[in-house]
Structure formats: C-alpha cells, structure tokens
Amino acid sequence: MTALSPDLRLWDPPVTYRIGVAMGVDTHPYSGELLRAIRAAAAQAGCDVVLADTEDTVGEEAAVVRALRADLVDGVLLVPSAGDEAVINGLVRMGVPTVLVDRVAARNDVDQVGTENVHAVASLVRHLTDRRHRKIGLISGDEGLEVSRERIRGYRLGLEQAGLRFNRELVESGFSNAGGATRATAKLLDGWPSPTALVVADEAMLVGVQYEAHRRGIRIGSELAVVGYGDMDWARRVSPAVTTLVQPIADLGRRAVQLLMSRMADPDRPPESVWLTPKFLHGASCGC
C-alpha cells in the first residue's frame, strides 16, 4: 500500500467567483450577444454573473458599481459610459479586479479588451478611395469615448494614406445614437462640400444615416456610398447590404472573462490591453 503524505491534497474544491457586469443593457445593438458570451465563459469557469444596467450614463454607472461592490462581487467587467472616468479611477484605487470591455480608455493601469479601431477605420476609408471617392464624410461617435477618438484618428489616417487632406467640414458627431446620426447626416448633405461617401463610426448610428438618406430619396450604394463599423443583423438584410467592419463580440466577452480571471488569480500582474481584429464584411452599400 502506498502511503500518502498528510500534506498532499487529494483534490482542490472548485473556486467560484461572482463577477459583476456593468453595461448599458438596452443601449447598444450588441449588448445581448456580449452578455451571452460573458455568461457562457463565466459558467465554463465556474463563476456567477451579476448584471447591473448602467443605462449608459455616468451617474447610473456610479450607482450600479457601488451596488455591485456592496453585493461583494469579486471582480467587475465594465462597458464604460461616455464622460469622466471617476468610476474607473475608483475601482483602480480600491484595487477591485476590473476589465474594461469594448470601450477602452487611454490609460495603462487597468485591464482592457476591445477591437482595433485606428487601422481598421483607415481601411474603410481606403476602400472608398479605391472607388475614386474624394469627398468622404465621417459620422463620428460620442467624443467623450476614447473609441470615438480612435476612429476619428483612423479616418484621418486613411485620408492621409490616400493623399487626401482632412476637411473639418466633412466631420459631424452623431453622438453614438440614431437621432444624432440623422442630424449629422442632414448637416453633411446640406453642407459644402457635400460628401459622396460616408464612414459611420458605430452601428447605432447607421440607422440614422439610413433613415435620412431614405427621407431625401437618396439611393445608398449608387448615389451615396456608406460604410460602417459594427455588426447588425438588419444591415445584412437591407438592400443594399451594408459594408461594415464586424466586431468579434463573442470573442470580446470570452477574452474579458479570461482577463478578469487572471487578474483575480494574480492581483499584482501588470495590466494588459488586448486588441481584437474586426472582420471586413462587404456589402453593396459602398457601391461595389
């Protein structure tokens, strides 16, 4: 008979963490898919998920994160709202294991996972310049978000790579919502120079662009080229289908859980930023 050391553990009990997820549940087209991916990855890791709806506002975000902390969650996955970073600063200061998801911040003291924006949007611009477009407008997102600023930089980079000069008159903010995008599209189309093509910086704003073009009787694809950033089921069903960069939402959710698990297991490791590559999905809205 083999004698076992009394110090040798025959098995380890499963470690279960409670993960708080703070995000705007109904404010983003991808929220449902992201949450499903997070829950699936958490379940596989033996973790429970506590969901808190930030309503995509800074005030509500602060309130729900306080509630999550009071509920004794072990870590937080946060899709930050536009505005100041007081909530992020507080989580970092208190040493709460935290991962920013999708909407990354310009900082290196917290784990983050998002999609690459600068070179991705530049590739959209080059796709349009390859179609001989020279007056390319941008419907940018909420300027309080770092992701919006990155996509503006990508737009400018794409113009520079094509030998085109940046024109501030061809950029309008759609504030990351359909109504804002409708107004921004109208302003660009009524302005001078009027764009022959539009880059739309996120999926929520594509609805507004489509609405305003339809209201004016402008045929997308033949009279106005439109490309966007995001993955919407409806964008593949409309005619013409929209040319977009598709975010790997399921991978974002899985990678976010993995990063948080690593942080909770090793609180002292250096913060990590993970950038996932979006996929180019060609439709006919770009006119080709």
- Quick check: 3 pLDDT over 70? no
How much is the pLDDT for 238?
A: 82
Whether the CB-CB separation of 110 and 100 falls below 8 Å is answered with yes
Assess if residue 287 is contained within a domain.
Answer: no
- Quick check: 11 pLDDT over 80? no
* Domain at 131, CATH number: 3.40.50.2300
pTM for the model stands at 0.87
How much is the pLDDT for 83?
A: 83
Q: Which two tokens stand for residue 185?
A: 């599209």
138: domain range? 117-247
Q: Are 98 and 137 contained in the same domain?
A: no
- Digit-coded pLDDT (tens) for 257-273: 999 999 999 999 999 99
Q: Give the other-Cβ count within 10 Å of 257's Cβ.
A: 29
- Digit-coded pLDDT (tens) for 136-194: 999 999 988 999 999 999 999 999 999 999 999 999 999 999 999 999 999 999 999 99
Whether the CB-CB separation of 98 and 75 falls below 8 Å is answered with yes
Assess if residue 176 is contained within a domain.
Answer: yes
Q: Are 169 and 264 contained in the same domain?
A: no
Q: List, as one string, the DSSP characters of 148-198.
A: HHHHHHHHHHHHHHTT----GGGEEE-TTSHHHHHHHHHHHHHSSSPPSEE
**Tokens 């991705």 sit on residue:** 120
- Digit-coded pLDDT (tens) for 89-146: 999 999 999 999 999 999 999 999 999 999 999 999 999 999 999 999 999 999 889 9
Type of residue at 181: A
Beta bridge partners of 276: 115
Beta bridge partners of 142: none
Q: Are 126 and 238 contained in the same domain?
A: yes
Assess if residue 282 is contained within a domain.
Answer: no
- The mean pLDDT of the chain is 92
Assess if residue 151 is contained within a domain.
Answer: yes
How much is the pLDDT for 49?
A: 96
Domains in the chain, number: 2
Assess if residue 79 is contained within a domain.
Answer: yes
Q: Give the other-Cβ count within 10 Å of 184's Cβ.
A: 25
Q: Which two tokens stand for residue 212?
A: 């305003």
Assess if residue 281 is contained within a domain.
Answer: no
Assess if residue 8 is contained within a domain.
Answer: no
Q: Give the other-Cβ count within 10 Å of 281's Cβ.
A: 15
Assess if residue 61 is contained within a domain.
Answer: yes
Q: Are 223 and 135 contained in the same domain?
A: yes
Q: Are 206 and 243 contained in the same domain?
A: yes
Query: 178-190 and 203-216 are packed helices; what angle lies between their axes, rounded to 10 degrees?
Result: 50
Q: Vertex 215, ends 212 and 220: CA angle to 5°?
A: 65
Q: Are 235 and 139 contained in the same domain?
A: yes
